[in-house]
Amino acid sequence: MNDLLRRALADACLTEAGVAARLGVDPKTVHRWVAGRVPYPRNRTRVASLVGRDEADLWPQLAVANVQAESSGIDILATYPHRWAVPRPVWQQLFKGARDEIGILAYAGLFLAEDTGIMRALAERARNGVAVRILLGDPDGTCVAQRGSDEGVGGSMAAKIRNALVHYRVLRDVDGVGIRLHDTVLYNSIYRADDDLLINPHAYGIAASRAPVLHLRRREDGDMASTYIESFERAWSGAFPMDRLQPMD
């Protein structure tokens, strides 16, 4: 189901039959587009024009693929003004496309933990031999307390992490999944699938969901993406297993 297209049609007060009439196509064809089939380029352009959106807003997976195909030698493949602006299909494509390794470094990562489809994808990739490492903040740690203070949410930050950990526990017994907790100053959240990374830089006093995201690709040792991979490894090496977390009273 292409929910982005479905919502765009609703916002434009267009029915599938109405779109078919305007474009001169069979209504069943429009129904297939809403169901998830990607139209040919000419029809994508016409549909986007009808609803007043960019094609990338309706089919973000194609935008990512085009950027990757055209960005030979370029470290930054795409940018997003906020983490919440990264389309869900981009997150899905990132993790589902992993062949060797997935790495998640955040304080809570609750937006992923609450996404059943993403959690299933992580478990499925692990069962197919992909090493999945999830690194979250220690809710009892000093750095999490400081982050909560900086954002003006106090103890809510630690509570958010504990909430996320409840969701992530479903992965605990999946072979190939490792979950650790860290107490480090987190300058960036890192979401890695092999050589592709979504980097969410943190800004003082601003929630991570409102901060930008960069899509990087590692091409050689020492490049931009390698810097963040090294940062992940440093945080992982100093973290402790989730099972050692003290339970709440």
DSSP H helices, 128-223, are 142-151, 156-168
Closest among 212, 210, 209, 193 to 201, alpha carbons compared: 212
Query: Same domain, yes or no, for 175 and 101?
Result: yes
Query: Same domain, yes or no, for 54 and 104?
Result: no
Confidence of residue 124 (pLDDT cuts 50, 70, 90): very high
User: pTM for this one?
Assistant: 0.68
Query: Same domain, yes or no, for 96 and 40?
Result: no
Confidence of residue 249 (pLDDT cuts 50, 70, 90): very low
Query: Same domain, yes or no, for 119 and 33?
Result: no
Residue 249, domain member (yes or no): no
What's the structural domain count of the chain?
Answer: 2
Q: 42, 58, 74: which is the final residue of a domain? A: 58
Query: Same domain, yes or no, for 113 and 228?
Result: yes
User: How would you write 116-142 as a 3-class SS string?
Assistant: HHHHHHHHHHHHCCCEEEEEEECCCCH
Q: What would the pLDDT profile of 33-83 be if each residue is shown by its tens digit? A: 998 888 888 888 999 999 998 888 888 867 555 555 444 455 788 899 999
Q: Domain with 72 in it: what CATH number?
A: 3.30.870.10
Query: Same domain, yes or no, for 99 and 142?
Result: yes
Query: Same domain, yes or no, for 120 and 214?
Result: yes
Query: Same domain, yes or no, for 172 and 132?
Result: yes
Query: Same domain, yes or no, for 110 and 195?
Result: yes
Residue 18 has pLDDT above 50, yes or no: yes
Q: Domain with 30 in it: what CATH number?
A: 1.10.260
H or E element, residue 211: none
Residue 106: predicted pLDDT? 93
Residue range(s) defining the domain that contains residue 30: 3-58
Q: What would the pLDDT profile of 33-47 be if each residue is shown by its tens digit? A: 998 888 888 888 999
Closest among 160, 157, 95 to 131, alpha carbons compared: 95
Closest among 181, 185, 187 to 162, alpha carbons compared: 181
Query: Same domain, yes or no, for 70 and 52?
Result: no
- Region 124-140 average pLDDT: 93
Query: Same domain, yes or no, for 28 and 69?
Result: no
Query: Same domain, yes or no, for 196 and 75?
Result: yes
Strands 196-201 vs 213-217: parallel, antiparallel or unpaired: antiparallel
